[in-house]
Chain A
Amino acid sequence: MNKWRLLLPLLACLLVTGCWNRVELNDIAVISATGVDWKEGNWVLTYQVVIPQAISSQGGASNSAAVNVFSTKGPSFRSAVSKASQETSRKLYFSHTQIIIVGQEAARKGMAPLLDTYLRNHDSRETVSVYLSKGSARRMLEQLIPLEKIPGAAIQRMITNEEMNSSNFRQMTIHQVLLDLLGTTHATALPGLVVSGTNENIVRAEQLSHTSTPSKIRLSELALIADDKLVGWIDNEESLGVMWLSNHVKKTTVPFACEEEGEAHKNSSIRITNAKTGLRPQLSGGKWTMHVDVTASGTLMEYNGEGDLSKPEQVNKVATCIESEIAAIMEQGWTAVQKHKVDVIGFGDAIRKKYTKQWSKMSGNWPQLLPDTEVKLSINVKIKSTGMSASGFKKEQKKDGG
């Protein structure tokens, strides 16, 4: 019986405690995307709040926008967030945020406060992917995107699609950004977002009922970040070069010119399905040399050259063309990085791993040393398959004629 007497106060405890952090699903505002802007000495935070009824099939209201966008401002991040309760009925819920868009001005001011909130708060997930926008971040969040109901999720899927198909950009999660900025070189690169097309914003759901939209969001240019500030932008081609150099190419298509046609006509292309880049630093005479070894393989997708691909020699020839094309892309990327003196490739990291002592001495002035590094490329491309046709359309035609 004593056992039962003990149980009673325990049961009472159950009723006293608990439930304190209980939140019902209709008490939270799920935020799909957050925007960070810096305006007149204040942080302006923009939230893209999902309206569940507009999305679920039950509601059926397809002609209303599925998200609502509003901003709050404050001298610090969380003070701005806490002001949200003055204009929304629900608790802001950040755990399902898919993307963060940082405005160019905010990035120039410094991303440290943003990153600090992510290190400190448990409701901020580090799997959020980060973008930089040339204009204001709010503008990006207001734009509706065709096919997808939630623009935030759409942009997140856009970068995943890009990563898997052309690798000009890669998804940068807060986690990755923190790794980079707290890592060896304190530098990272973020994909940029722009609104292209006319100035007309797509902010009403009806506008999506047209077959084409006057403006759209697209991934464009790579932002280089040193320490926590925006240093400069490099274009899409240069970005691809950086991805090749830093071993972040997953799958991409490389257009190339066949020898016979000359440089101008890049009318053939290969689908790279497998690529790996290794960095080997070498110190000789006080000067750094970086050996970049690339091995890539893929399938020929398009071939408009004259060669006979049924012969191994010709295939090797084509591979050499592709190798030089990749080398050109990488050179382009390297030149851009040299110009901005931001080691987003990870040369510094490779050096630190091999030459730890030397690195600790020179790490302070690495940005100055970086442009002087000599880059030696060695690229090995293997054509796994030339596709279902060996000769090519034109050759077949000629064969018939002659």
Chain B
Amino acid sequence: MNKQNAGEFTPFSPSLQANVETIRHRFGGSTDIVIRMFRSDAAPDREVAIIYVDGIVDSETINESVMEPLMSMKLPPHAYVKGGKLLEALRSCVVSIGSVQEIQNLEQALQYMTDGLCVIMADGSAAALTADVNGGEYRGVTIPQTQTVIRGPQHGFVENVRTNISLVRRIIRSSDLHIQMHKIGRQTHTNVAVLYLNGIADDGIVKEVYRRLAAIDIDGVLESGYIEEFIQDETFTLFPTLMNTERPDTIAAALLEGRVAVMVDGSPIALMAPTTFFTFFQSPEDYYQRFDIASFVRIIRYGAYVVSILLPALYIAVTTYHQEMLPTTLLISLAAQREGIPFPCLVEALLMELTFEVLREAGLRMPRAIGPAISIVGALVLGQSAVQAGIVSAGMVIIVSFTAISNFVMPEFNMAATSRIIRFLFMIMAGIFGFFGIFISVLLMLIHLVSLRSFGVPYMSPMAPGPTRQGPWRDVFVRLPWWAIVLRPMDLNLRNPKRRPNGKKPPAQRHSDKA
């Protein structure tokens, strides 16, 4: 559970006073350390101390389950033993808490205290007990803020990793759901949980996750983004190779598909690995809605992604190099809009796109109350005034707006962010080379995409490399009915690839057939 160097261990002293002093000293006299020393009825001859960090423990539990029994309870005669056995007796007979452990050295004590456990020491014992009284103020489980669905569970992760794990446990009630805790961060000692379904997830991938997590050496981990940058396969890529979510049901679905989830204490955003390109187009709602609607929406999503990357570039290329491709009437109306515009099309597009990016960032950082003001100014400045002043053409405003809106169709924010940057590259290439530039850029992008991997899984699978087994397309561009999705995603090299015995709908008996 913890990884500390054996060399640094400081054993407890038999003197309670000395131990308490050392702990107080180690914390530099911090005021949130509570040290309560008293004489217990159970062993009136020996002083007992309860030490914990205020605020991260549940004081009610301490009072009821630790303090009170210790102070008032008499040990039964058969349990009353002398000397060093006192702690053992306390553990077995007095402290009424589920998780109680005996520890042997000071570092462990400090670690447990910062984790929200309380340490119980008795004079004359060179050991201590820890009792799990974790608690304190946390944000309650609420509706996910970033990934909303209309149909589907409405609870999201919170900052407490234990709560988050419990949310997933409640969905997958199986002993196969294995959870491993790591502590990462020299100073923060952040709890990082790895979740996987034993018997489904590939052992190699699980081991690889452990290996990469173990290799992280950093002073602090404040969010799962820290972990993501350490464990992703390729750093210099615009495409995310790990997916994140704040939805327990999404994590549960990923686990069922054989993926591994990583949760970080202090962040409601959990990671999933391996992730392929196409998983970023799958919204949790796809699986809750009827399959035909889900498929339609998913196709729209792919289209919108292409639009959000390519539309401004296509507009630039067509209007500056390939005017013959437009229908005549469209050409004339575009030409009419461009009359009197001082900038070349490329500059116009860059100007508008950058303005939009600024507006968007401003809207994000603005205090809630000023948000509407930003949108009014933005709409007026961008939409109307710029056109009326003859600085940009109306067509360009339409293109930029539609591109921006298409970008919001993506269910995963990090994939949407990718297209915001790529768009500029495409626009510049289109401005320099026209369609030729766009084709070259698309080719380069595809070459880059197929070179990516996520925990060893090819990023573009099952498209490239091609599928090795049947039925891989049932949940990529469209989603077939649930009963037809027999296999888990092929590319994960699963130990147990089958979700269902066969791809047949269970026969339904019609009411009229009964007679």
A residues with a Cβ closer than 8 A to B are 14, 17-19, 21-26, 28, 30, 32, 50, 52-53, 55-56, 58-59, 93, 95-96, 98, 123, 125, 150, 153
Tell me the smallest distance from the CB of A273 to a CB of chain B, in Å.
29
Tell me the smallest distance from the CB of A292 to a CB of chain B, in Å.
39
A contact residues around B431 at 8 Å (CB): 19, 22
Q: Is the beta-carbon distance between B323 and A93 smaller than 8 angstroms?
A: yes
- Give the nearest-CB partner of B333 in chain A: A56
Q: Is the beta-carbon distance between A28 and B324 smaller than 8 angstroms?
A: no
Q: Is the beta-carbon distance between A30 and B339 smaller than 8 angstroms?
A: no
Q: Is the beta-carbon distance between A125 and B324 smaller than 8 angstroms?
A: yes
The stretch that binds A, out of B274-282, B340-348, B404-412, B454-462, is B340-348
Cβ of B432 < 8 Å from any Cβ of A?
A: yes
Number of A-B contacts (CB under 8 A): 73
Tell me the smallest distance from the CB of A93 to a CB of chain B, in Å.
7
Check A50/B332 contact, CB under 8 A, given A19-B432, A24-B344. Answer: yes
- Give the nearest-CB partner of B436 in chain A: A18
Across the interface, B344 reaches (CB within 8 A) one of A14, A22, A30, namely A22
A21 to B320, CA, bound (A): 9
Interface of B is mostly: helix
B contact residues around A19 at 8 Å (CB): 431-432
A30 to B339, CA, bound (A): 13
User: Which 9 residue pairs of A and B lie closest in terms of their CB atoms, listed nearest first?
Assistant: A56-B336, A95-B324, A52-B336, A18-B432, A52-B335, A25-B338, A25-B335, A26-B338, A96-B328
A96 to B324, CA, bound (A): 6
Tell me the smallest distance from the CB of B384 to a CB of chain A, in Å.
13
Tell me which residues from 403 to 461 in chain B have a Cβ below 8 Å from any Cβ of chain A: 431-434, 437
24 A–B pairs (Cβ distance < 8 Å), ordered by A: A18-B432, A19-B432, A22-B320, A22-B321, A22-B344, A22-B431, A22-B434, A23-B320, A24-B320, A25-B320, A25-B323, A25-B331, A25-B335, A26-B340, A30-B331, A50-B332, A52-B332, A52-B333, A52-B336, A58-B337, A59-B336, A95-B323, A96-B324, A98-B328
B contact residues around A21 at 8 Å (CB): 321
B contact residues around A25 at 8 Å (CB): 319-320, 323, 331, 334-335, 338, 345
Cβ of B394 < 8 Å from any Cβ of A?
A: yes
Check A58/B336 contact, CB under 8 A, given A18-B432, A22-B344, A24-B319. Answer: yes
Tell me the smallest distance from the CB of A65 to a CB of chain B, in Å.
14
Across the interface, A55 reaches (CB within 8 A) one of B319, B333, B432, B437, namely B333
A17 to B340, CA, bound (A): 27
Beyond A93-B323, A150-B332, 14 additional pairs, beta carbon < 8 A: A17-B432, A22-B321, A23-B320, A23-B321, A24-B319, A24-B344, A24-B345, A28-B335, A30-B335, A52-B335, A52-B336, A56-B333, A56-B337, A58-B337
Check A14/B323 contact, CB under 8 A, given A30-B332, A32-B328. Answer: no
Q: Is the beta-carbon distance between B324 and A14 smaller than 8 angstroms?
A: no
A53 to B393, CA, bound (A): 13
Tell me the smallest distance from the CB of B335 to a CB of chain A, in Å.
4
A218 to B387, CA, bound (A): 41
A52 to B331, CA, bound (A): 9
- Give the nearest-CB partner of A17 in chain B: B432
A93 to B335, CA, bound (A): 12
Q: Is the beta-carbon distance between A23 and B323 smaller than 8 angstroms?
A: yes
Tell me which residues from 348 to 381 in chain B have a Cβ below 8 Å from any Cβ of chain A: none
Q: Is the beta-carbon distance between A53 and B345 smaller than 8 angstroms?
A: no
A contact residues around B337 at 8 Å (CB): 56, 58
Q: Is the beta-carbon distance between A28 and B338 smaller than 8 angstroms?
A: no
B contact residues around A55 at 8 Å (CB): 332-333, 336
- Interface bits B490-511 vs A (CB < 8 Å: 1, else 0): 0000000000000000000000
A229 to B296, CA, bound (A): 58
Interface of A is mostly: loop
B contact residues around A98 at 8 Å (CB): 328
A contact residues around B334 at 8 Å (CB): 25
Tell me the smallest distance from the CB of A136 to a CB of chain B, in Å.
25
- Give the nearest-CB partner of B433 in chain A: A18
Tell me the smallest distance from the CB of B333 to a CB of chain A, in Å.
5
Q: Is the beta-carbon distance between B320 and A153 smaller than 8 angstroms?
A: no
A30 to B324, CA, bound (A): 10
- Give the nearest-CB partner of B318 in chain A: A25
Q: Is the beta-carbon distance between B324 and A53 smaller than 8 angstroms?
A: no
Q: Is the beta-carbon distance between A52 and B339 smaller than 8 angstroms?
A: yes
Q: Is the beta-carbon distance between A96 and B331 smaller than 8 angstroms?
A: yes
Tell me which residues from 24 to 42 in chain B have a Cβ below 8 Å from any Cβ of chain A: none
Interface centre among B328, B329, B332, B339 (most CB of A within 10 A): B332
A contact residues around B437 at 8 Å (CB): 18
A19 to B433, CA, bound (A): 6
Tell me the smallest distance from the CB of A317 to a CB of chain B, in Å.
49
A contact residues around B319 at 8 Å (CB): 24-25
Tell me the smallest distance from the CB of A89 to a CB of chain B, in Å.
12
A17 to B436, CA, bound (A): 13
B contact residues around A22 at 8 Å (CB): 320-321, 344, 431, 434
Q: Is the beta-carbon distance between B328 and A28 smaller than 8 angstroms?
A: no
A contact residues around B341 at 8 Å (CB): 26
A25 to B333, CA, bound (A): 10
- Give the nearest-CB partner of B328 in chain A: A96
- Interface bits B213-226 vs A (CB < 8 Å: 1, else 0): 00000000000000
A59 to B333, CA, bound (A): 10
A141 to B319, CA, bound (A): 27
A contact residues around B340 at 8 Å (CB): 26
Tell me the smallest distance from the CB of A279 to a CB of chain B, in Å.
37
Tell me the smallest distance from the CB of B393 to a CB of chain A, in Å.
9
- Give the nearest-CB partner of B334 in chain A: A25
Tell me the smallest distance from the CB of A106 to a CB of chain B, in Å.
25
A28 to B323, CA, bound (A): 10
- Give the nearest-CB partner of B428 in chain A: A14
Q: Is the beta-carbon distance between B332 and A14 smaller than 8 angstroms?
A: no
- Give the nearest-CB partner of B326 in chain A: A96
A contact residues around B433 at 8 Å (CB): 18
A contact residues around B432 at 8 Å (CB): 14, 17-19
Q: Is the beta-carbon distance between B336 and A30 smaller than 8 angstroms?
A: no
A contact residues around B345 at 8 Å (CB): 24-25
A28 to B334, CA, bound (A): 12
A150 to B394, CA, bound (A): 23
Tell me the smallest distance from the CB of B451 to a CB of chain A, in Å.
13
A contact residues around B323 at 8 Å (CB): 23, 25, 28, 93, 95-96
A391 to B339, CA, bound (A): 62
- Give the nearest-CB partner of A23 in chain B: B320
Interface centre among A24, A32, A59 (most CB of B within 10 A): A24
- Give the nearest-CB partner of B432 in chain A: A18
- Interface bits B302-325 vs A (CB < 8 Å: 1, else 0): 000000000000000001110110
A contact residues around B394 at 8 Å (CB): 58
A21 to B338, CA, bound (A): 18
Q: Is the beta-carbon distance between A53 and B321 smaller than 8 angstroms?
A: no
A150 to B437, CA, bound (A): 34
B contact residues around A153 at 8 Å (CB): 328-329
A57 to B336, CA, bound (A): 9
B contact residues around A58 at 8 Å (CB): 336-337, 394
B contact residues around A125 at 8 Å (CB): 324
Q: Is the beta-carbon distance between B331 and A53 smaller than 8 angstroms?
A: no
A contact residues around B434 at 8 Å (CB): 22
B contact residues around A123 at 8 Å (CB): 324
Tell me the smallest distance from the CB of A397 to a CB of chain B, in Å.
50
A contact residues around B320 at 8 Å (CB): 22-25
Q: Is the beta-carbon distance between B344 and A56 smaller than 8 angstroms?
A: no
- Give the nearest-CB partner of B320 in chain A: A22
B contact residues around A18 at 8 Å (CB): 432-433, 437
A179 to B340, CA, bound (A): 43
A26 to B348, CA, bound (A): 13
- Give the nearest-CB partner of A18 in chain B: B432
Tell me which residues from 49 to 86 in chain B have a Cβ below 8 Å from any Cβ of chain A: none
- Give the nearest-CB partner of A153 in chain B: B328
- Give the nearest-CB partner of B387 in chain A: A58
Tell me the smallest distance from the CB of A125 to a CB of chain B, in Å.
7
A136 to B433, CA, bound (A): 42
